A and B are shown apart, each in its own frame.
Chain A
Amino acid sequence: MDTPSPEQPPAAVADAATLCRELRALLPPGAVLSSPSELAPYECDGLSAYRQRPLAVVIPRCVEEVQAVLRLCSARGVPVVARGAGTGLSGGALPHAAGVLLVMARFDRILSVDPAACTARVQPGVRNLAISEAAAPHGLYYAPDPSSQIACSIGGNVAENAGGVHCLKYGLTVHNVLAAEILLMNGERLTLGGEGPDSPGYDLLALLCGSEGLLGVIVEVTVRLLARPPCARLLLATFDSPVRAGAAVASIIAAGIVPAGLEMMDGLAIRAAEAFAHAGYPTDAAALLLCELDGTEEECTGQLMRVESLLRAGGATELRVAADEAERLRLWSGRKSAFPAVGRLAPDYYCMDGSIPRSRLGDVLERIAVLSSEYGLPVANVFHAGDGNLHPLILYDAGKPGELQRTEELGEKILAFCVEVGGTITGEHGVGVEKLGAMCLQFGAAELERFHAVKEAFDPAGLLNPGKAVPTLARCAEGRRMHVHGGELPFPGIERF
């Protein structure tokens, strides 16, 4: 199934052979791939429902090589899509049919760790977890920890403004990055941010975080490291309904407690995660909360007692505190592998990423349950309950005709409800190609126009990752999805597959 990539503006279709010859002249042997068998594995990132083979894949090793590629592509009018570890879940690194896929995986060196300033300077292809591993001897770590942290790269984290299970207390990528070196599409090198607390002029670093590779190619990142808290206690609580668990979450926050992580899984997800990780989850529970408290020994103990009594008052059916570090890590391992573990339940899953005000958690979960049974598609819920970021996973079988379309329709209804209750269509995975349609639910024409103009300020020719993250106005108008009220949407369904 070759999926026509959505909304890619017509680029001057370069003669592939000529382009590859020119690229080969710029790069060392083995750094340019162009045969069909070599391109196929690059046709998708972590979201394999969208696939598109690029004209060529390049895997440079140094900034000068990236600059050379960008300058050539600028001159030839060839689109460029940057890619890190290819673990993104919104198709942000989906190649462009007439473009070059710029793979940054070989930029995998940690350049320096400064234990006094608590910073690390790294190349963009360094894996998220590798930063914490390098910082560990100094008692430091890098706080944002997306579930894919073992594999995802920091460049991708910045481009997507990745979150994770601990961002309730420690923030998203944008809060933990101090500086980024980027290349504009014309090859110009700029430093955004710096090692100081701020920089003169506009905060372009904040703008870069979450810009999904549309503004510049990240070639170096300086991150902030934190002191590892001396104590972390993990509490597991089960509930007989997800709604009740949602209410318990709100009660913890209302009490002025900011847990390091507050995660929730429903019955389906619990069973899938347990089957993989053998984390010791009670598989008969309807909902499970993982609440991590960290800080000094005293802080943890005090908060633990308060949280326990709140959860008990909230109707927890079982409460368990991880006895030791091994059990704590085991309980987390189930949560961290929950997405792929759900892959065991059905041939395919569709992962949503809506974010809502915490107080509406119960309503939204109920609505998802109703929609799920309406569509006859099971939905497993795995999410960051503490910050209201939902990850409903719709289970389906792409092999069954029409099921993907129905899945998408269900997904869009869920997102529409998230927007309706004051939330957003994507909390951390990004828009990519996958949520282009849903963007029309959230933004009006004026905002979308400004987004396009911001891109133009960075990339006048529109060659960097074109067609992603921001839908064209025409698309939104065509779908008549702009300014939706009441959550009921017309679903003419623009052809996306």
Chain B
Amino acid sequence: MGDADLGEQIRERIVEAHHWGRGLRIVAGGTRERPGRRVAGEELSLGAHRGILEWEPSELVLRARAGTPVLEIEAALATERQMLGFEPPRAAETATIGGAVATAQSGPRRPFAGAARDFVLGVGCIDGTGQRLGFGGRVIKNVAGYDISRLMCGAHGTLGVLLDVAIRLLPVPECEQSLVRECEPLQAMQIMNSLRSRPLPLSGAAWEAGLLRLRLEGAESAVSRAARELGGDAEADARWWQELRDQRLPFFRDARSLWRVALPPTAAPLALDAAELIDWCGAQRWLSGDVDATLVRARAAQLGGHATLCRGATDDPFHPLAPGMLALQQRLKRVFDPRRVLNPGRLYREL
């Protein structure tokens, strides 16, 4: 599929929807509808709005249309040994950069390099009234005006339909090494806690099914030295990390009901009756199994975090907001989408 600018068509659709007060269900690659509430409304597709707009390798900055597939961008970046630092998951080839930003999804590198929002420099978008808006820019430091581009990140399109995003890039590290060792979750947590305060070239720390894996990346000398210090077996095949990133490990594939629990990284194991995968050096725990929603949420809240049901039957996948917070977020929604046209109810019934 070739590059195309559908900005004007998209804008017209939104203007019309705004006029009639009709909801629009925003779709691009179609890979990120979950987690999310079901949206009643006509489909507004961004899949064909694609293409890299700006990319100057010496700037380490890329600007692309929202419908551009992540894989296409990554293939281009690889030619100059650059990459997307937040490793957005690619559940399918169609997964887009706009979707990754809108849903704020980040891969295993997140605790070491930053989340999607940390790499977003600017966005072009259309709000719920059909107004084209530009926030942020394509420079690394920019504090002019409120940081609306980062607000859009993770808003699931409910504040504006992203047309293009400017993203900061990272150079691809010289070399990569995966280490694996057998251990119980409690011991894995202890190791992760001890790693955090050490200056190591880490880019991944995860535990699944009795195996703790550490990914090291950087200069060859630094990586090999760290590998010696950390011990464990070298894992020749780095595919596990890619499958973790894309949520294609059997753990995810087989899950009938899948919870994502975001916690303070030192929080104790969840100890719920479900299979657990620990990522982000302890800060992201995946649960696979039929666990009572109330129980998961209560446990997450007790540990200082929140839980999202990513797969499984529910009306409310996201952690409920306190009344004051919800009211504030409703007021923000009204700023950008007064008639609730954009993905109405996708995050919360009230938004």
Touch test A–B (CB under 8 Å): yes
Provide the residues of chain A in CB contact with B351, threshold 8 Å: 201
Known contacts A175-B118, A190-B324; A203/B150 CB under 8 A: yes
Residue B349 lies at the interface, judged by CB distance under 8 Å to chain A: no
With A200-B308, A200-B319, A228-B199 in contact, is A256–B331 under 8 Å at CB?
no
User: Given that A175-B114, A355-B139 are contacting pairs, would A206 and B133 also be in contact in the complex, using a CB cutoff of 8 Å?
Assistant: no
Q: Does A77 contact B (CB under 8 A)?
A: no
Determine, out of A23-31, A275-283, A336-344, A452-460, the stretch whose residues face the partner at the interface: A452-460
- Asked whether, in the complex, the Cβ of A422 is within 8 Å of the Cβ of B138, the reply is yes
Instruction: Assess the A197–B280 pair: CB atoms within 8 A.
Output: yes
Check if B335 sits within 8 Å of A454, measured CB to CB.
yes
Interface members, chain B 156-212 (any A CB < 8 Å): 159, 170-172, 193, 196-201
CB distance from A461 to the nearest CB of B (A): 13
Contact A299 B218 (CB under 8 A): yes
Is A197 a contact of B111 with CB atoms below 8 Å?
Answer: yes
Whether A450 pairs with B335 at a CB distance below 8 angstroms is yes
Q: Are the C-beta atoms of A202 and B147 separated by less than 8 Å?
A: no
Complex interface bits, A70-113 against B, C-beta within 8 A gives 1, otherwise 0 = 00000000000000000000000000000000000000000000
Q: Which of A115, A198, A296 contacts B222 (CB 8 A)?
A: A296
Comparing A46-54, A160-168, A473-481, the segment that makes contact with chain B is: A160-168
- Are A424 and B304 touching (Cβ within 8 A)? no
Asked whether, in the complex, the Cβ of B196 is within 8 Å of the Cβ of A116, the reply is yes
Question: Are A116 and B140 closer than 8 Å at their CB atoms?
Answer: no
> Which among B133, B141, B147, B335 is the interface contact of A387 at CB below 8 angstroms?
B141
How many Cβ-Cβ contacts under 8 Å join chain A to chain B? 252
Residues of B within 8 A of A458 (CB): 328, 331
Q: Min CB distance, A229 to chain B, in Å? A: 5
Is the beta-carbon distance between B172 and A256 smaller than 8 angstroms?
yes
Bound state CA distance, A209 and B326, in angstroms? Answer: 20
B110 → chain A closest CB, angstroms: 7
Contact indicator B154/A198 (Cβ below 8 Å): yes
The number of chain B residues with a CB under 8 A from chain A is: 84
Given A118-B197, A443-B145; A423-B137 close (CB under 8 Å)? yes
- Assess whether B147 is in contact with A206, with CB atoms less than 8 Å apart: yes
Please name all residues of chain A whose beta carbon is closer than 8 Å to the beta carbon of B150 when the two chains form the complex.
174, 203, 206-207
- The docked-state distance in angstroms from the alpha carbon of A168 to that of B168 is 11
**In contact, B262 and A227 (Cβ under 8 angstroms):** no
Of A310-318, A356-364, A367-375, A398-406, the one touching chain B? A356-364
Chain B residue contacts of A206, Cβ below 8 A: 117, 147, 150-151, 153
Q: CB of A429 within 8 A of chain B?
A: yes
* CB neighbours of B265 from chain A (8 A): 117, 196-197
* Cα–Cα distance between A210 and B137 once the two chains are bound (Å): 15
Contact flags (1/0) for A255-278 with B, using CB distance below 8 Å? 011100000000000000000000
21 example contacts (A-B, Cβ-Cβ < 8 A) are as follows A117-B266, A118-B196, A168-B140, A190-B324, A194-B305, A195-B264, A198-B104, A200-B306, A202-B154, A225-B197, A227-B197, A254-B58, A296-B199, A299-B218, A302-B219, A355-B139, A357-B56, A387-B140, A388-B140, A430-B143, A450-B133
For the complex of A and B, 5 pairs with smallest distance between CB atoms: A256-B171, A298-B221, A206-B150, A427-B141, A254-B58
